[in-house]
Copies of this chain bind each other. A is one copy, B any other.
Amino acid sequence: MSPTISTDLIRGHTTTIILNILRQGDSYGYEIYKKILALSGNQYELKEATLYTAFRRLEKEACIESYWGDETQGGRRKYYRITAKGKERYQHSKREWNFAKEILDRLIQGGLEDEEGSKSTGS
């Protein structure tokens, strides 16, 4: 139920995740919230406050645009659309992620092998 991923490991990725979802079509807050939960296999819940904070950040940076949906009379929804700048930003972030992944793997996994069930080296 609650996220298994510590919040610090997510930091800096939320905008990339949001942009990636919007690449696949316009969407609104709650839907994106649900989508992330589902995509992560219920392992990661992006909190609403974080999500809407990210929207505002991304909109200010012209990476996304918003418009109110048609259901004006009820359940108003604010839709977000990714812009050209947003797409560039996504590609850049994705590259950065793949790059960071390699380096972090080296820094985190590198060095000693795990001694856990060390049953090798029989001499």
Main SS of the interface on chain A?
helix
A51 touches B (CB below 8 Å):
no
Bound-state Cα–Cα, A103 to B45, Å: 12
Contact A96 B12 (CB under 8 A): no
Checking B24, B36, B107 against A20 with a beta-carbon cut-off of 8 angstroms, the contacting residue is B107
In-complex Cβ contact of A111 among B23, B108, B112, B114 (8 A): B23
The answer to whether A111 and B11 have CB atoms under 8 Å apart is: no
Interface residues contributed by chain A, number (CB under 8 Å): 41
Please determine whether B11 and A107 come into contact, CB atoms closer than 8 angstroms.
Answer: no
> Does A100 touch B at the CB level, under 8 Å?
yes
The residue on B at minimum CB distance from A22 is B111
Residues of B within 8 A of A109 (CB): 20, 94
A106 and B13 in contact (CB under 8 A), knowing A24-B111, A91-B114, A112-B24?
no
Given A6-B12, A107-B40, A108-B94; A101-B101 close (CB under 8 Å): yes
Docked-complex contact A96 and B9, CB < 8 angstroms = yes
| A9-B13, A9-B97 known, 6 other contacts, Cβ within 8 Å | A5-B99, A9-B12, A11-B12, A17-B108, A23-B111, A23-B112
